[in-house]
Chain A
């Protein structure tokens, strides 16, 4: 108990004494961990979006107008026979026209100029795993009666690529910020060691162990790391309430990250803050505190 009391007494004196540098270290840690938390949430949101958008993805096999019933039956048999395929539905010209009419209901001029015959009939193929599109496409493309095979995911792919770059960017910035946070925490630890070199000299003379000398400085760094992490967590919750919750009204149909997702980041940020601070502290003291 006495030992703990000693450690914490020394730690808080240290934090008070170099307040400004400590503040800089806490702020940088805050920004770094806020970005890391943000990256985690963006990641989560992307997964939700991918799940949502690919859930209904189909491969459309458009049929030629002059296809014979036998050819059509043959295609259906091939498709239903493939292990990658979950479900095959036939969409006739008439059904396609009904859907077309509904989708373009506010553009009557267009609807009136298009007849059911202008639209191709198609097989709507639902895959067990949407990424297996190429297999299905290769198998069916050359078959007689097939006009064109279209994967709805093509459009999404481009979106995903953009989002992926964004995600990597956020992680990169977060890493750079973490590195600067570690440097700043290391600096405060070094400064604290320097400010107390007289005490450290006496401690060594009277036979204090190295760890006994180091622990207060490590705790000091760790508290800075944890304060930064706490601020980052608070920041994420505020962001969530201010932006995501108000966004919800606008795009109600899209899945958005929720409170559980933010709570999920809490242990990660705390552990990361403490870890970065401890490593920074140990590195900073490595040369200073040899026997």
Chain B
């Protein structure tokens, strides 16, 4: 589903974010990308979204080399990938319903589709009662659920999560992980960048560890660090 072939990313100020990184992620896999801040986790996510171009190497998503994708096709690439971030990226002047509906509106879905799919997905993430609330009336965990609902409402093949539990307390983080696990179980490939060792250790999923932009470990049922 996703393949990085010897990908190197050097930013303009000659900061090396990724160096010769190669990984392959199969359909329906759940992968943690771990490592300290600045190890290249976020860069990997940005490269997959084609927000950045790799300095060297190729990236394949669903069998296509995204380096060869023309700019006007990038939006269609992104429709196959849901994204969840540490800071939720919700729109404060829109209700929960409208925040999720927005993702469908802007890709030109019909009102009927929106009206049926949005309540459905919000019920799935456990916010069926809060459609009319605004983001600032919700807890951090609830806001992250809204952002997951928005990322998943379009049924993407891939879900990219960049530190989704970074702003949440441990108990809430567990709830969010349960939700991501459910999304993974219906066949969605999930890639999650994190440095939350408790979660990684508890989930026992594949772990890719980055250090200074290099892949230093790729372990099938891994934990955060060597014991």
User: Which residues from chain A sit less than 8 Å from chain B, CB to CB?
Assistant: 2-3, 6, 198-199, 201-210, 212-213, 290-291
Contacts and interface: CB of A to CB of B under 8 A. Distances in A.
Contacts, number: 56
Interface stretch (B1-9, B106-114, B179-187): B106-114
A208 B75 contact: yes
Contact of B150 (A2, A201, A206, A290): A206
Contacts of A207: 75-79, 107, 154
A205 B78 CA distance: 7
A2 B91 contact: no
A206 B72 contact: no
Nearest to A5: B111
B220 interface: no
B89 interface: yes
A133 B83 CA distance: 81
A205 B107 contact: no
A3 B106 CA distance: 9
B91 A210 contact: no
A2 B106 contact: no
Interface of B: 49-50, 71-72, 74-79, 83, 89, 91, 102-103, 105-108, 110-111, 150, 154
B94 to A, nearest CB: 9
Nearest to B94: A199
Nearest to B50: A291
List the 9 closest pairs (A to B, CB-CB), nearest first.
Answer: A207-B79, A207-B78, A208-B106, A206-B103, A207-B75, A209-B75, A203-B106, A291-B74, A291-B71
A205 B89 contact: yes
A6 B175 CA distance: 35
A25 B200 CA distance: 55
Given A6-B105, A198-B91, A205 B110 contact: no
A202 B76 contact: no
A136 to B, nearest CB: 67
Nearest to B160: A205
A204 B108 contact: no
A208 B108 CA distance: 8
A291 B154 CA distance: 20
Interface centre among B75, B83, B111 (most CB of A within 10 A): B75
A207 B69 CA distance: 14
Given A210-B75, A212-B106, A199 B89 contact: no
Contacts of B74: 291
A286 to B, nearest CB: 14
A156 to B, nearest CB: 60
A217 to B, nearest CB: 14
A210 to B, nearest CB: 7
B110 to A, nearest CB: 6
Nearest to B102: A202
A208 B105 CA distance: 9
23 contacts: A2-B105, A2-B108, A2-B111, A198-B89, A199-B91, A202-B91, A202-B102, A204-B78, A205-B49, A206-B78, A206-B83, A206-B106, A206-B107, A206-B150, A206-B154, A207-B75, A207-B77, A207-B79, A209-B72, A210-B72, A212-B106, A212-B108, A291-B75
B45 to A, nearest CB: 11
Contacts of A212: 106-108
Nearest to B109: A2
A2 B83 CA distance: 25
Given A208-B75, A212-B106, A291-B71, 19 more contacts: A198-B89, A198-B91, A202-B89, A202-B91, A203-B106, A205-B89, A206-B150, A207-B78, A207-B79, A207-B154, A208-B107, A209-B72, A210-B75, A212-B107, A213-B106, A290-B71, A291-B50, A291-B74, A291-B75
